[in-house]
Structure formats: structure tokens, C-alpha cells
Amino acid sequence: MATSFRTRGTNLTRAKTHNHRVVLEIIRTRGPIGRSEIADITSLSRQTVQNIVAELDAEGIVEMHAGKASGRGHPGMNVQIRASHAFSLGFHVDRLAVTAIACDLMGQVVWSGTGHLVAPSTSSANALVLKLAEDFRKAHPDEASRLFGVGLAAPGPFAADADELAHLSSSSDATTFTEFGLPENLKTLSQELNLPVVLQNDASAAALGEHVYGLGRAYGNFAFIQFGIGLGAGFVLNGAIYPGPSKNAGEIGHIQVQPRGLACSCGSRGCLERYLSLHALCERLGLDPTLAASLIRIDQLFEAQDPALLAWMDDVAPYLRQAINIIEMMLDPEAIILGGIVRPAFIETLLQRAEPLHPRLAPSAPGARRIHVGTSGTRAVALGASAAAVDALFAPSVSHLVLQAE
Ligand SMILES: [Zn+2]
């Protein structure tokens, strides 16, 4: 298995906060795991690991249980996250719908809800987020009292402020939700929810979800392609999500694949998502991409193996082959995982039409699959958003808590 931890520990006392985060990260992404294995992975001394684990145990953040007996010795104690210690809410927001899930620290979904926006605007998205959060609090008051944060995932590109937003010509397109991600809107939502919030683009969130809870656990380097109204990608590199400095890494939908192709809302021409996206499919089928009913219709057409839909797949499959080729040549990932807001069988069918794929420079081991369809289906982004909340909001607060407890 590839290494999928972020960084090595250090035995310096002043680096204690850092060490707690490193150990907790290993336990969260690799547990249940023995303390000596944590020491091996982090290069921390066994005593340091013992002390950190004991503190996390005393705080109720991790729990110990007997591991499998190995050799002649006693079975060791393994440590794992105490899943019910805290909960996060993850929201997948786009211009049509909001999907919400509440997860424990191990990504077990304890509640989920969904709704359609009244209008494709930030105010109706906010209203729906708040309503769903209230639904969860009413249905699960005990878990809700242990909420520590909220992850929000929406299609980018994102802008730093209203000025920058004004310069993004794509900001009002159905494939994006730039204004939802504006810092001032996040601040409003955080105040209304009375919880800290963290934002990621939808594809990065899905990549993180796969990294922590899904197929991506097996890889330190992979890309996730999100097939939504638009098209995006998220990257896990050296065991960590790579969001890019402006959180816009992976906007592969705007890679130009046809220099004199169709005009795109971003101001360019021939962008990948003008061909390979639900927006493009809606255009082909004469459906309105700003209506949730169009997605339901597409699902029905796929179910019926509609010839027009399958013909579209044949036409755009070369673009999927090209996208996979670009990502493989650029990043040399161990795997690419495909997902989106359509059912997995839809992605599977599209992928079959894209095969045979372009060869890789370094061929995979015989029989090894390099392209996978994600396991979390249409909830992948919301699940990843909750994982982002754990990543950004829970782990630092743990270190803070433990240091304060001394
Ligand atoms: Zn574009």
C-alpha cells in the first residue's frame, strides 16, 4: 500500500501540536493501527506515540481494542478513532439542489437529507442549507449537540471577493456557483448555523471523501473526476488534497480541447465541459440545465437506454479518453476515480465507450485497474465535504484541546 500520510513527526517538545495532528491523522486514515506502527510511520519515538495516544484516549477522541495476535506474543492493542466522539455536517451545493449528510468521525452517515432550490441563487441555497441543518438537529438532537463544524462543497471557480467575482464572466453559468463560495456568504452561513464552516470545490471534496473513507485509502496519489453539471477534478498528491492557492486546482472542464470549438461561459472556446458534462448533454437533448427536472429526465433516459443519450456518449467518449490521458501524463497518479451526480452505472457506461484508453508511459501491474468508478455514488461530494470539516476544523481543535488540558 502506498504511503498516505502527510508529514513525519518530530520529537521536539515545542512541536507537540504538530505531533498530535500527525498521530491523529494516521489513526484517522489508517486505523485501527498499533502504536508501534504509528511510531514507524511517523518516525516519532514509541514513548512519544504512547503519550499522545494516552492523551487522545483520555479525551475520549480515540479508543483502544485488542488487535489480532501475531506470532507467539500477546495480541497488541490497536487504536482507532472513537467515531461517535463528534459529528460534522457535509453539504453538496449546486444551483439545482442541496444534498446534506451528517457523519461521525469515521464517515458513517447517521442522517441525510436533500432538497431542490427554489431558484438558482445563493439566497435559496442558503435557505435550503439552513433548513436541512435544522431538520438534522430536530431528528438527532444528541448527535447535533456534538457537531463541531460544517463542510460546504460547491462547483467553482471561486473568487476572493465581489470584485474578483465581477471579473469572472462564468459566474452566473449553470455549471458554477462562484458567488455561493464568496467569503462574505460563508461568514453569513457560519453565523446562522452557529458553527465554523469550510469550503471546497465539489471535485476536491469528492477526492477527499474517497481518500479518507473510500477507494482512495489505497493510494497516496490519485485524481478524482467529478461529472456534474460541469466537469471538475480533485487531486490527492503525496497523501494530501491539493486545492491550489485559490482553491481552483482541477478546473479541468476549462482545458481547451477544441481550439476553434464551442464558445464557453469562461470566455474561451472549445473547453472540455462544453462537450463532456451534464450541461452539454442537456443541450444535446434540448433540456434546460437550470432545472432539476432535467436531471431526473436524464436518469430516466439512461434507465431506458435511450438511443439519443447513448449516441451522445459515443460522441463524447473520446473527450473522456483525452481527459484521462492529460491527467495521467501530467500527474502520474496511481489511479483515477470517476464519480458525479449521475448514478455509477451511467459513468461505467461512458467509461466503457472511452476504452481502450491511451497507454500509460509506465504500464500498471498486470490485472491492476487504473480507472475506478467511485464507491460513494451521488453522495460522494457531501461525504467529502464532511471529511473536509474533520480535516480543517476537527484536527486543529483536538491539538488545542489537548494542549489546554495540561
Ligand atoms: Zn471554459
Report the percentage of the chain scoring pLDDT > 70.
88
CATH (domain of 110): 3.30.420.40
Judge whether 243 lies within some domain. Answer: yes
Q: 0.85 cut: is pTM over it?
A: no
Cα 262 to ligand 1 centre (Å): 9
Judge whether 139 lies within some domain. Answer: yes
Cα 99 to ligand 1 centre (Å): 26
Q: Which of 104, 75, 74, 76 is nearest to 89 (CA)?
A: 104
Same domain as 343, residue 223: yes
Cα 320 to ligand 1 centre (Å): 16
Judge whether 257 lies within some domain. Answer: yes
Residue pair 126/189 in contact (Cβ under 8 Å)? The answer is yes
Cα 250 to ligand 1 centre (Å): 13
pLDDT at 221: 94
**Integer CA distances (angstroms), 144 to 17, 108, 133, 138, 199, in order:** 27, 15, 9, 8, 20
Q: How far apart are the first and last CA of the chain?
A: 37
Same domain as 360, residue 249: yes
Judge whether 406 lies within some domain. Answer: no
Same domain as 345, residue 222: yes
Same domain as 146, residue 279: no
pLDDT at 404: 35
pLDDT at 372: 94
Cell of 294: 432535467
Q: Which tens digits make up the pLDDT trace of 282-336?
A: 999 999 988 889 999 999 999 999 999 999 999 999 999 999 999 999 999 999 9
Q: Which tens digits make up the pLDDT trace of 257-270?
A: 999 999 998 889 99
Could you tell me the residue range of the domain that residue 67 belongs to? 13-81
Cell of 367: 490485472
Provide the pairing of β-strand 197-201 with 222-227.
Answer: unpaired
Same domain as 128, residue 69: no
Same domain as 111, residue 23: no
Cα 279 to ligand 1 centre (Å): 12
Distance CA 292, CA 289 (A): 8
Ion ligand 1: protein residues whose beta carbon lies under 5 Å: 254, 264, 266, 268, 271
Helical H segments across 31-119, by residue range: 35-42, 46-58
Residues in Cβ contact with 74 at an 8 Å cutoff, skipping those fewer than 6 apart: none
HSE at residue 300, side-chain half, CA atoms within 13 A, is 6
Distance CA 153, CA 313 (A): 27
Helical H segments across 114-253, by residue range: 122-139, 141-144, 162-167, 183-193, 202-213
